[in-house]
Amino acid sequence: MDSASQKSQDRTLVDFLERIARRSGLRPALLAKAEDGFREWSYADLWEGSGRVAAMLQSHGLKKGDRAILWGPNSPRWALAFFGCLRAGVVVVPLDMRSGDQFVQRVVDRTQPKFVFASLETPDRPAELDAPECILEVLEEECEGLKSPEPVEIDSDDLVEVMFTSGTTGTPKGVMLTHRNLVANLQSARQVVPGEATDRLVSILPLSHMYEQMAGLLMPLSAGANVTYEPSRQPATLFKTLKDRKVTMLLLVPQALDLFMTGIEREVKRQGKERVWRWMMKLAPKLPVWARRRLFGSVHSQLGGQLRYIISGGAALDPALGAKWESLGVQVLQGYGATEASPVISSHTLESARYDSAGRPLPRVEVRIADDGEIQVRGPNVTVGYWEDPGQTAAVFDGDWYRTGDQGFLSVDGLLHIQGRTRDMIVLPSGLNVFPDDIETVLKRHEDVTDACVIGLARESRTEVHAVYTGIDQQQASQITKWANSQLGDHQRIRGFSVWPDVDFPRTHTMKIKKNEVADALMAQSNGAMATS
């Protein structure tokens, strides 16, 4: 952990990068697959390489405050481009690889970028994206021979990036994040979330989103750890990389945690060892962590043998799923955040890990619950607003408190509990409120459920709790609904269900289901297509 005097020197992420480069020097920072194994970029390489990127931007005439699109898959060169922009004072506009043409065009129209970092894997660019371009795969060749950049005065209130998020409404909002925001969140999170120079992380989630950018890049670098980028999402390739790198930590969303566990349990079933597995799962909670890891040695071997903890975020974690991982001897650290908060708002610690809440607010982050149950946040990590959108900015602030749009409460012991999105909350004719997350958690515990979502569906003069399933037939859906209703409160009971016709639901870039689109599609169907439980 850095000393207080060192921390105080990091007014900007440029200060941060320069300091960690001096401290860790030739230690490996970032790694990527190569023909003969893995290629390493040291901390010194990050500083020197980002300087050449900054010089390249300056050679193209970019000045402080200009915008640059960063549109490519996770890689060390993505990080070089990111830090290079910061050193030139250029504002980064990251784009998810799955961004559609219309979304990209809206972002381009609003930010008027003067440079584009793209990839050979980036989708075809809109014709209107008329700016100099550098392909990330040849970034270092493009910068070869360039000297140090011209110095640029960077202040803590200067913008680092504009993070556009479409959310579930489809309307892109450009979250403006400053050096002050990101440095404050980094320093606060490092006081709560573990990290050592010996840690090895394999990056899976997109760097174009704040969750991975903060917890999967900035935080590991602040600890002197290293990050490996594996472009493939094929399970066999991914597990091989975990083993080759002897990964110690992973950063995942609950859906991925569930997929990993489902894969493990599917292999147990294939080998006919379900009875032994159930016995081991029952025994494990009574054992110390080291004994659990030995008990499940074959599983840990597939995960690299060194995996100690997983950070879970992006959505609520089912406590039963967290308990399964803990039984394996892998701690799951759950947190809560929002892009507008840079992004971490609260988290548990390894010493007090729990799965029934989102932990305590980070140091210097204040949380309050409004009269209507909305979670509101303020602190130096909170955005200054939305890019060129004062109306949206005013709408999400109550004074200096950011209105998250999430419903929740603080328990007497100071833990933050998330109940769901305000817009997803179902208000019954009786006046009772139903949170879809609670019902979805129950549904996903059924072994036949691949995925499901719960919405409030208008039927005649009332709103009913309606479940939508994927990957099953109507008969299975009926049986699962009855099973779930036996475990739910009377007001939570599922009154109707549907089977989604496609393989997967429509989703945002962060894998959240676009429930408004699901509801609109169901309403467009005839009533006969909707079954009643």
List pLDDT tens digits, range 326-360. Answer: 999 999 999 999 999 999 999 999 888 888 899 99
98 is written with which tokens? 């799955």
Q: Name the H helices within 195-333.
A: 210-213, 219-223, 235-245, 254-270, 274-283, 289-295, 297-302, 319-328
Q: Name the H helices within 363-403.
A: 390-395
| 431 has a pLDDT exceeding 80 | no
391 is written with which tokens? 């109306």
- In contact, 328 and 287? CB cutoff 8 Å: no
pLDDT band, very low/low/confident/very high, at 128 (cuts 50, 70, 90): low
CA–CA separation, 421 and 516 (whole Å)? 13
Could you give the C-alpha distances from 237 to 50, 244, 245, 440, in angstroms and in order?
30, 10, 12, 31
| 324 has a pLDDT exceeding 60 | yes
398 is written with which tokens? 């109550």
- Specify the amino acid at residue 304: G
- In contact, 146 and 55? CB cutoff 8 Å: yes
343 is written with which tokens? 């992004």
pLDDT in tens, 29-59: 999 988 888 999 999 999 999 999 999 999 9
CA–CA separation, 258 and 444 (whole Å)? 9
Percent of the chain at pLDDT exceeding 70: 94
Q: Give me the mean pLDDT over the 99-105 stretch.
A: 84
| Lowest-pLDDT choice from 220-229, 311-320, 398-407 | 311-320
pLDDT in tens, 250-273: 999 887 888 888 888 888 999 999
- At residue 69, φ and ψ (nearest 5 deg) are -75, 135
CA–CA separation, 33 and 476 (whole Å)? 43
Q: Give me the mean pLDDT over the 234-257 stretch.
A: 88
CA–CA separation, 80 and 165 (whole Å)? 23
- In contact, 28 and 41? CB cutoff 8 Å: yes
pLDDT band, very low/low/confident/very high, at 166 (cuts 50, 70, 90): low
Q: Give me the mean pLDDT over the 273-281 stretch.
A: 95
Q: Give me the mean pLDDT over the 132-155 stretch.
A: 94
Average pLDDT over all residues of the chain? 90
Could you give the C-alpha distances from 438 to 137, 229, 411, 519, 532, in angstroms and in order?
44, 34, 18, 19, 20
Could you give the C-alpha distances from 78 to 85, 445, 530, in angstroms and in order?
11, 38, 46
CA–CA separation, 279 and 268 (whole Å)? 13
Enter the pTM of the model.
0.85
CA–CA separation, 365 and 382 (whole Å)? 9
DSSP 456-476: EEEETTEEEEEEEEESS-HHH
pLDDT band, very low/low/confident/very high, at 159 (cuts 50, 70, 90): very high
Q: Give me the mean pLDDT over the 85-114 stretch.
A: 92
Q: Give me the mean pLDDT over the 314-333 stretch.
A: 90
434 is written with which tokens? 């139903």
- In contact, 231 and 291? CB cutoff 8 Å: no
Question: How many CA within 13 A on the CB side of residue 306?
Answer: 14
pLDDT band, very low/low/confident/very high, at 127 (cuts 50, 70, 90): low
**At a CB cut-off of 8 Å and minimum separation 6, what does 232 contact?**
238
pLDDT band, very low/low/confident/very high, at 168 (cuts 50, 70, 90): very low
- pLDDT given at position 5: 38
Domains contained in the chain, CATH given: 4-22+41-154 (3.40.50.980), 226-421 (3.40.50.12780), 425-532 (3.30.300.30)
Strand order in the sheet with 226-229: 37-42, 28-34, 226-229, 200-203, 249-252, 309-312, 331-337, 344-347, 360-361
| 114 has a pLDDT exceeding 90 | yes
Provide the 8-state DSSP code for 508: -
What is the C-alpha R_g of the chain? 24
- At residue 325, φ and ψ (nearest 5 deg) are -65, -40
Report helix, strand or coil for 77. Answer: helix
CA–CA separation, 512 and 47 (whole Å)? 35
- pLDDT given at position 6: 44
| 490 has a pLDDT exceeding 90 | no
Q: 369 - beta bridge partners? A: 375
pLDDT band, very low/low/confident/very high, at 2 (cuts 50, 70, 90): very low
384 is written with which tokens? 């200054």
